[in-house]
Structure 1
Amino acid sequence: MSAKRLCAALLLWSALPANADTPAEIVILGEVHDNPHAHLEQAAALKALRPTAVVFEMLTAEEAAKADADRNQIAQAWAASGWQRFDIYAPIFDALGDARIIGAAAPRAAVQRVYREGAAALFGSDAPRFGLDQTLPEDQQVARVELQFAAHCEAMPREMMGGMVAVQRYRDATFARAALDALKAYGPPVAVITGNGHARTDWGIPALIARAAPEVTTHAIGFVEAETAVPLDEIRLIPPAERDDPCNALIEN
């Protein structure tokens, strides 16, 4: 077996939940957004998994529908999203095969409303299904506020981070619902392309799927640049990307 095929086989095996003989129904492929190595690894995983559908954190439902209807429009849809460079994400799209392209990004106006009004206000009747109608346990709320404070380079008032946590919860639930809808529409396996923070198993997409549909199996793989305490089903180390300190621009602004 060639090294490439062996790697693909290992990636497919990594999508198996513990003590199972079949791939997880929903496989979450976490990433460091600006790291090209993460996207190459995600592409390899998709080739091995051959999903029926791929849910993208980065695309809205409208943008994804255009890309899905005409694959020649993928780059244009990506540009409309305003996301990271398309060239580093292109290998993922090249690896899709016949998988449907599903978008789960919330429009900016929706995110702004969630920040002001909370996640449940905008999520609709499904809010209780994903726990958005409930406040977080105090220790988790505090931990998540501190994570957001650090992620924003401690450059914004800590008091603003509660709204950021609400947005994160809304996004996690939106991605989880999109994955479950895709599973119902197209069958397993479904893949999700998202940041490592959304892939975490304690309160990210896997946890919300377990709450909303406990019969559905998931497996979360994080492609990370260093060892991490973030809970994931599997951690795969990738070379760090070369980048300027992202905090510099935020602090200056």
Structure 2
Amino acid sequence: MKRYILAAGLVVAPVMAQPSALENLRDLPRADIVFLGEVHDNPLHHQNQSDGITAIRPAALVFEMLTEAQAARVTPDLRKDQTALQAALDWDTSGWPDFAMYYPLFTAAPQAAIFGAGLPRDAARAAMGQPLLQVFGGDGARFGLDRPLPDDQQTTREALQARAHCDALPDSLLPAMVDIQRLRDAMLAAAALDAYRATGGPVVVIAGTGHTRTDWGAPALLARAEPALDILAVGQFETATHAPPHDVHIVTAPHPRPDPCAAFQ
């Protein structure tokens, strides 16, 4: 898939200029599996995702925010009732942002099957320091979990983890944090593949923009496992970025929030 920038609501030829802010994702190229990234607490990103889902009309939706068990609880009747669905998913104890931002994604394609790819926090803590293949529990080798990362990528990803955690983590913990990120990427890729096989697609995957990278995120792992699939990776950002590792990227207004690193200063 060639890399594009969305500008003024249109898909245009690859360019090097900074992308323009958009209101929706209604004009995406068709693909078997579309990864729609987000900054989790930005309402504009969820509105864009809802617009994209409406246009794509996927046969399945995969959520980073749901475990397999949670996804299995979603019924057609629950999808008609925001309060009931929120309660059934036990969303308020999940640590994810306001469910009101996510609920429109469930209704944008009401007939789409729901799949979960989430790794619960307690499971993530238990997995730290454990062999990735053992924790994954399936055919992790097809997603590259049987081998270490190249040294330069490992270094880059550890630096990103440090920055994401306000440089408050001990250096000794960073390799394990990268492993958990790799595990989450593999789980997203595997769930997307399961959803495609179960429904025939198209499939939309909802995940953080860091997971939707084409260089080492879930799209890259899925392409490794199933090269014949047509995959589109969308990243949403709050600041202008040069040539991000996505097929399509969008810059929106930032969502106002307290400085997450203030407590460490």
Same fold (TM over 0.5): yes
What is the distance in 2 between the residues matched to 1:209 and 1:68? 28
What is the distance in 2 between the residues matched to 1:7 and 1:148? 33
Q: Deviations over 1:80-129 (max 9, x none)?
A: 53321111222222312211111110123321232121322211241111
Q: Is the 8 A contact 1:59 1:105 kept in 2?
A: yes
Report SS of the residue matched to 2:234. Answer: strand
Cα–Cα, structure 1 residues 82 and 11, in superposed 2: closer, same or farther, change >3 Å?
closer
Q: Deviations over 1:199-218 (max 9, x none)?
A: 01000011001111111110
Question: What residue identity is the alignment partner of 1:203?
Answer: W
TM-score, normalisation: structure 2: 0.85
Q: Is the 8 A contact 1:118 1:163 kept in 2?
A: no
Match of 1:61 among 68, 71, 76: 68
Higher share in helix: 1
Report SS of the residue matched to 1:88. Answer: helix
What is the distance in 2 between the residues matched to 1:87 and 1:222? 21
What is the distance in 2 between the residues matched to 1:40 and 1:87? 11
Q: CA deviation at 1:12?
A: 4.6
Alignment pair present for 1:112 and 2:125: yes
Quick one: percent identity of the two aligned structures? 46
Which sections of structure 2, spanning at least 5 residues, go unmatched? 1-7, 12-23
Q: CA deviation at 1:68?
A: 3.6
TM-score, normalisation: structure 1: 0.88
What is the distance in 2 between the residues matched to 1:31 and 1:181? 22
Q: Is the 8 A contact 2:214 2:245 kept in 1?
A: yes
The total of aligned residue pairs comes to 239
Q: Which residue of 2 aligns with 1:173?
A: 186
Q: CA deviation at 1:57?
A: 0.4
Q: Is the 8 A contact 1:68 1:101 kept in 2?
A: no
Aligned-pair Cα RMSD in Å: 2.0
What is the distance in 1 between the residues matched to 2:199 and 2:48? 24
Q: Which residue of 2 aligns with 1:232?
A: 246
Alignment pair present for 1:11 and 2:25: yes
Cα–Cα, structure 1 residues 120 and 113, in superposed 2: closer, same or farther, change >3 Å?
farther
Question: What residue identity is the alignment partner of 2:85?
Answer: I
Q: CA deviation at 1:156?
A: 1.3
Q: Is the 8 A contact 1:118 1:167 kept in 2?
A: no
Q: Which residue of 1 aligns with 2:141?
A: 128
Cα–Cα, structure 1 residues 80 and 185, in superposed 2: closer, same or farther, change >3 Å?
farther
